[in-house]
Structure 1
Amino acid sequence: MSTEGKGSGLATLGLLAVTAIWGSTFVMIKDVVGRMLPIDFLAVRFVIAAVAMLVLFAVPVRRLGRRQAWRGLALGVLYGVAQWLQTEGIALTSPSVSGFVTGMYVVFTPFLALALFRQRFPATTWVASALAVVGLGVLALNGFTVDLGVLLTLASALLYALHIVGLGHWSKPGDAFGMSAIQMLGIAVVCVLATLPHHGPALPPDGKAWVAIVYMALVAGALAMLVQTWAQAHMPATRAAIVMTTEPVFAAGFAVALGVDALTPRMVGGGALVLAAMYMVELAPRLRRKKPAEALHHEAG
């Protein structure tokens, strides 16, 4: 798998677009889950996304080798269980704490990449991971106690990190359509199974909820998974994780823009730290590579 190259910058922009889309959904999700069970919301959302992707990408799915298909399904199951645990956890703790603990995947990712695939990272990556965690804490935390909700959310963060590492290792640019569709199938199966102890998946209560769920299924679900799968074929897993920690920054920005929240110094400070972490792993290395090239060019002139 190629993790660097010409597609790297475009992959970063794609991943930023995905996190912006995810950030835009927080206000909608809060409204919908106030009127239907969170696990029903997840089941309906991901079933719609899976059906759409399997229809649109039937040919790429058939072209996947058996090994890639099983890898995609396993990654989807990981992501689906993570979504389920995160949803159960947020019911037992505050959204701000949930957002912070979920963002801990940025810490788990380099350790898992090192342990599972012997991937090594420069010191700046580890510093950037720590900086991102501090930024998330400033942005999200007003208090913190370890309870069952925090533990469930921490488990979801570990599974998200496994998904990021696995996707970064197995994803290939040519398999993005098929892999993303198979992953979405795995997510949908997990979410539907999670509703069975209650009653099975219940449908949205009204038209407004349907519109929100269809948007989150097709744009924040299917399209986002496709772009993430393609992007991670062009960049290391830890870099992807740090870029994705901008999600709560986008969420806070949308909340302020829509008048749901007021802009606070904590938002500005926390967001700045997260963006600084992304700068460390994205822009700084590019500038360091560019300067010697420029110096060589001037000497040759």
Structure 2
Amino acid sequence: MSLSAVPLPPVAGPDPAKTSSEAALGCLLVAGAAIAWSTGGALTRFVEADDNWTIVFWRSVFAALFLIGFMLVRDGPRGTWRLFQNMGLAGVGVAICFATASSCFIIALSYTTVANVLLLQAGVPLFAALISWVLFRERIGAATWIAIAVVIAGVAIMVSDSLDGAVSPIGDMLALLIAISFAIATVITRRKAHLRMTPAVFLGVAMAACFASMMADRFAVDARDFGLLFALGAVNLGLGLAFFVSGARLIPSALAALISTLEPVLGPVWVWLLHDEVPAPRTVIGGAIILAALLVHFGWEYSRQRRAAARWS
């Protein structure tokens, strides 16, 4: 009997059930990140410190402490060290992106309005999709493009009450840099899905803390603000970053960026609940449009994956 007559074992293809479960987990983790990030505005309202760089410094320090503690508990000292060794240039790139985004956010707000920043940040899914398509030919479905367009329109409606004729080129360019940095970090995290990017975001917030330490007028805060800044660092920033880099590696870049737009939708809800500040009608309408677009898109993706799994079974 010749070797050519020996039947070869079938080549195992991707397991649709596993792929579907990983995608669902990725969506949940990125949504969890958006929920954590959305608490930032409401918590910051309670902080009495008037130096923004002091806030950035302590927020970044506590985020760094949370992230290093998270890695030590999950992976142990040796495992954590290996994560830093393995992150390579991709991890450094993600760190620079997150350090740039977190630092530019504060600077941008001193030149332009929150509305302008939010409007430009709504372009993150678009930038992530374009970068993935141009550089890596990652296919972006028509449904995702439609959802991105609807989300941008929803954010535009949300912030339309706050937009004015004053345009600051510096502020708006910084806001654009925030969106592009976040999109690049999302794409790198997805392309290097075999790497855990938790050490990269730790490095990013550590870089932001170092930069803020050079800009802050003082570091002393009272006990109340210290507790609030701990929550802002550990929960709002640290936990959010840990969720995001864990989930973004499991789903397409455009989808991860799209889900993260839950942040501006949920932000006014926390302010309403904690500060009794009723959102403006356009904020509610725009938020409802974004939420509906995301829910419809998730439902379509779930249905598509179920059909794919049925064909493989």
Question: Shorter-chain TM-score: which interval?
Answer: 0.7 to 0.9
Corresponding residue for residue 27 of structure 2: 12
Which one of 124, 133, 146 corresponds to residue 167 of structure 2? 146
Counterpart check, 1:163 vs 2:185: yes
User: Secondary structure at 2:20's aligned position in 1?
Assistant: coil
Query: Residue 105 of structure 1: which of 110, 118, 124 is its match?
Result: 124
Cα distance change, pair 110–275 in 1 and its aligned pair in 2 (3 A)? same
Q: Distance in 1 between matches of 2:276 and 2:172?
A: 25
Which letter does structure 2 place at the counterpart of 1:119? E
Report the residue type matching 2:210 in the other structure.
V
Which of 66, 70, 81 is equivalent to 1:62?
81
TM-score (norm 2): 0.82
Q: Which residue of 2 aligns with 1:235?
A: 251
User: Which blocks of at least 5 consecutive residues in structure 1 are unaligned?
Assistant: none
1:215 aligns to what?
Answer: 231
Q: Deviations over 1:49-107 (max 9, x none)?
A: 22343355243332237452432232111111111112101122222222222222122
In structure 2, the partner of 1:42 is 56
Q: Please list, as runs of the form range in 1=range in 2, the aligned pairs for 1:1-301 lying within 5 A after superposition.
A: 4-32=19-47, 35-57=49-71, 58-64=77-83, 66-142=85-161, 143-144=163-164, 145-147=166-168, 148-172=170-194, 175-176=195-196, 179-196=197-214, 198=215, 202-290=218-306
Shift of 1:202: 3.2
User: 1:75, 1:183 within 8 Å by CA — same for their partners in 2?
Assistant: yes
Residue identity in the other structure for 1:182? A
Q: Offset at 1:279? A: 2.7
Supply the AA of the counterpart residue of 1:35. A
Whether the 8 Å CA contact 2:150–2:289 is kept in 1: the answer is: yes
Worse overlay, 216-225 or 247-256: 216-225
**Distance 1:65-1:48 versus aligned 2 partners, 3 A rule:** closer
Cα gap change, 1:233/1:257 in structure 2, threshold over 3 Å: closer, same or farther? same
Tell me the percent identity: 20
Give the Cα–Cα distance (whole angstroms) in 2 for the partners of residues 5 and 60 of structure 1.
28
- Bigger drift between 11-20 and 243-252 goes to 11-20
Distance in 2 of aligned mates of 1:138 and 1:286: 28
Larger Rg: 2
Using a 3 Å threshold, how does the CA distance of structure 1 residues 287 and 204 change in structure 2: closer, same or farther? Answer: farther
CA distance in 1, matches of 2:190, 2:82: 20
Tell me the CA shift for residue 236 of structure 1.
0.6
* Unmatched tracts of structure 2, length 5 or more: 1-14, 72-76
CA deviation profile, 1:242-279 (whole Å, cap 9, x unmatched): 11101111101112222442144312211122113313
Q: Matches of 1:23 and 1:153 in 2, distance apart?
A: 18
Instruction: Render the CA deviation track for 1:15-39: whole Å, top value 9, x for unaligned.
Output: 212211211121222443x624223
Native 8 Å contact 1:171 1:230 kept in 2:
no
Letter in 2 for 1:25: G
CA distance in 1, matches of 2:70, 2:247: 20
Q: 1:296 to 1:121 in 2, by over 3 A?
A: closer
Pick closer, same or farther for the CA change 1:72–1:201 going to 2, 3 Å. Answer: farther
Distance 1:75 1:288, change over 3 A: closer
Contact 2:30 2:247 in 1 (8 A): yes
Distance 1:201 1:72, change over 3 A: farther
2:308 and 2:69 mapped to 1: Cα distance?
Answer: 49
Distance 1:60 1:89, change over 3 A: same
